[in-house]
Chains A and B, each alone.
Chain A
Amino acid sequence: MSTETIENTSTETGADIGSTGHWKLVWRRFSRHRLAMVSGGILLFIYLVAVFAEFIAPYSATTRFADHQYTPPQVIRPVDTSDGFQLGLFADGYTVEIDETTQQRRVSTDPSQTRELGLFVKGEEYELFGLITWDRHLIGPKNADEPVFILGTDRLGRDMFSRIVHGTRVSMSIGLVGVAVSMVLGIIIGGISGYFGGAIDTAAQRLIEFIMSIPTLPLWMALAAAVPDGWGPLMTYFAITVILSMIGWTELARVVRGRFLALREEEFVEAARLDNCGTFRIMRKYMLPTFSSHIIAALTLAIPAMILAETALSFLGLGLQAPAVSWGVLLQEAQNVRSLMHAPWLLIPGIAVVVAVLTLNFVGDGLRDAADPYT
């Protein structure tokens, strides 16, 4: 697919290639990739949700509704006909039945009742960015005593929609932070390896091959299990991120090394060297900027692997622990077959994972095609 787009576009971009800036050309090529553009939009939306999680979610991640365990999800209607004709956001009420044989409470939706939802409603108080105290929520029930659970509730009666929104922050940021750490490691090790070559290069390549040859999940599991239980959620978060990036940097190091190997023979690098420019300065000022768009593409493609890894670890109970909320932590609730049978909506966080990973892959693919807009 990539070569085809390149063939098509080269004639069009070729005309003013000398007078247009690099990033503008990259953007022009990228914006022609329709799937990547749509994915980019979705991705932007997901990150907005992550930033404004408290505002978007109707409830906090830990609010429990004691009478509403395992409430099924329901569809929000824009029209209500129970009492004449009304426009707005409406949902069904709930009824509780007690199973005769098992004595279990079972909550189900009741179409004979109607509950109204509103936008920008008053709800629980929260602190946005830890600074602004506010009590408005993007969506929520108009009457606080009549809660509505769009995506159902879990075992403890916590709203799944709110929890998924709050989980977005951890799940999406762990990819970014993890990739940032891998980037530092990858650029330093890959750069030194490619620039100096020889014995250093061989040693670095052996190290990378070694790390790549170990099955990652058992290694991650073992390292994550070694994180002390006493560490708080924030420390655990960073520990997990570092563990993920300790293995994740290898791919990036390979990309950087390949580029450095190709570039170090170039004339402009030779010229800088003859000008008595320091090695580190040559690498940083002359070589790195020439392929920063490639690095961004490689980084974007590395994020999904991080998100999937965190999800897997948390799902197994070795990653983030209960008070913290991430998509993997939420999916852990579905691990038990009985609760899965009882409440299949516990799998919904999985959809969030799939969408995030898919869009990141598409954006990464688009960036990779756009990284070198001159061909």
Chain B
Amino acid sequence: MMTQFIVRRVLYMVPTLIAISIVTFLIIQAPPGDYLTTVVARLEAEGQYVDRAQLDALRSRYGLDEPIWVQYWKWISGIVLEGDFGQSLVYNEPVADVIQGRLGFTVLLSLCTLAFVWAVAIPIGMYSAVKRYSIGDYTATFVGFIGLAVPNFLLALILLYVSHRYFGQSVGGLFSPEFEEANWNLGKVLDLLAHLWIPVVIIGTAGTAGMIRIVRANLLDELNRPYVTTGRAKGLPEGRLLVRYPSRIAASPIVSTVGWLLPSLISAEIIVSVVLSLPTTGPVLLRALESQDMYLAGSFLLILSVLTVIGTLISDILLARLDPRIRYGKR
């Protein structure tokens, strides 16, 4: 039953992935003029020699003289079959090479933030639900509202200012200068962890605030159910009662929030990385868009979306493990 569910869910993913690739391709095509005119204009502006033969090779590589669906096919088949994402204008090297190093940090940052959001929001949300209308509950609600209203780049800017001003140190980057170019070793990992928590907290605030509200609402729905009263009447200690029954049922809508949490975390990660100049995808994506380096920008968009879809898939599978109603249901 479980394998069947997973297979069906993976098959569902295929049309989504195709749609994502088409949308990305259309965005790559959106700026006026084709890719090569941009390249030529750029090279000529820099006073460089334009090699006709090389141009023609590129032209046939991307099928620029052919209809748009042929271009699409050449682009997507290159990515899927050969891992060739095209050539980046700004960095003047294959897109795949530019992306490689940075993508890892984006994934790491997003996963750490996801863990942070859950680790903070679930206990606070549960506390808020159990001690409803207590001072703690009101504080959590208030802080949650503020967390939702403050744009995370503003938070990053404030932190940047405070740390520069009062602690005389920079919070930018993911590594101290001495580890920047170093090979991976224990020291570098510890250094990374020492830097990582700042962006994690900044990126996680909005998600945490939203999550607290969801946890609270879901648990509140369960707390008044008759089975809870039954458990209490049987003399179960409050703590054990809470963890055993209502929490388990309230857990599945919480796990399913990965579907919206992950896209919003990636969005937040991009803008916060720009402010804190982290070596992740954000700054490169911005630079690519500013200079209309569309193959680079499009590839980022494609990969980030695909990663999000895969993340959602994993959460759906977890959800099905957790909740048999979903496994055996129609969908």
Residues of chain A at the chain B interface (Cβ within 8 Å):
1, 4, 206, 209-210, 212-219, 221-223, 225-226, 228, 304, 308, 311-312, 315-318, 331, 334-335, 337, 340-341, 344, 347, 350, 353-354, 357-358, 361-362
Residues B145 and A358 in contact, CB atoms below 8 Å apart:
yes
Residues of chain B at the chain A interface (Cβ within 8 Å):
15-16, 19-20, 23, 27, 30-32, 133, 141, 145-146, 148-151, 153-154, 157-158, 160-161, 164-165, 172, 259-260, 262-264, 266-268, 270-271, 274-275, 285-286, 289-290, 292, 297-298, 300-301, 304-305, 308-309, 312
Choice from B146, B151, B270, B290 contacting A225 with Cβ under 8 Å: B290
Given contacts A354-B149, A358-B149, contact A217 B267 (CB under 8 A): yes
| Cα–Cα, bound, A222→B262 (Å) | 19
Residues A225 and B160 in contact, CB atoms below 8 Å apart:
no
Residues B153 and A215 in contact, CB atoms below 8 Å apart:
no
Interface majority SS on A: helix, strand, loop or mixed?
helix
| Cα–Cα, bound, A312→B154 (Å) | 9
Residues A353 and B151 in contact, CB atoms below 8 Å apart:
yes
Interface majority SS on B: helix, strand, loop or mixed?
helix
Residues A354 and B150 in contact, CB atoms below 8 Å apart:
yes
Given contacts A213-B259, A304-B149, A317-B290, contact A312 B27 (CB under 8 A): no
Residues B157 and A225 in contact, CB atoms below 8 Å apart:
no
- Residues of B within 8 Å of A353, CB to CB, are 149, 151, 154
In the complex, the chain A residue whose C-beta lies closest to that of B165 is A341
| Cα–Cα, bound, A201→B154 (Å) | 40
- Residues of B within 8 Å of A316, CB to CB, are 271, 274, 286
- Considering residues A213, A337, A340, A358, which has the most beta carbons from chain B within 10 angstroms of its beta carbon? A213
In the complex, the chain B residue whose C-beta lies closest to that of A4 is B133
Residues A212 and B259 in contact, CB atoms below 8 Å apart:
yes
Residues A222 and B289 in contact, CB atoms below 8 Å apart:
yes
| Cα–Cα, bound, A362→B289 (Å) | 36
Please name 8 further chain A to chain B contacts, defined as beta carbons within 8 Å, in addition to the given A312-B271, A331-B154, sorted by A numbering: A4-B133, A212-B260, A214-B308, A215-B262, A217-B271, A221-B285, A311-B151, A337-B160
- Considering residues A212, A225, A304, A353, which has the most beta carbons from chain B within 10 angstroms of its beta carbon? A225
Residues B161 and A344 in contact, CB atoms below 8 Å apart:
yes
| Cα–Cα, bound, A228→B305 (Å) | 25
Residues A361 and B304 in contact, CB atoms below 8 Å apart:
no
Choice from A206, A304, A340, A358 contacting B160 with Cβ under 8 Å: A340
| Cα–Cα, bound, A362→B149 (Å) | 11
- Residues of B within 8 Å of A212, CB to CB, are 259-260, 263
- 13 of the cross-chain contacts (CB-CB < 8 Å) are A213-B259, A217-B267, A217-B268, A217-B270, A218-B304, A219-B27, A223-B30, A228-B32, A312-B153, A317-B290, A335-B157, A340-B161, A347-B161
Residues B267 and A222 in contact, CB atoms below 8 Å apart:
no
| Cα–Cα, bound, A216→B269 (Å) | 12
- Residues of B within 8 Å of A311, CB to CB, are 151
Residues A213 and B309 in contact, CB atoms below 8 Å apart:
yes
| Cα–Cα, bound, A318→B153 (Å) | 15
- Residues of B within 8 Å of A223, CB to CB, are 27, 30
Residues B260 and A218 in contact, CB atoms below 8 Å apart:
no
- Residues of B within 8 Å of A344, CB to CB, are 161, 165
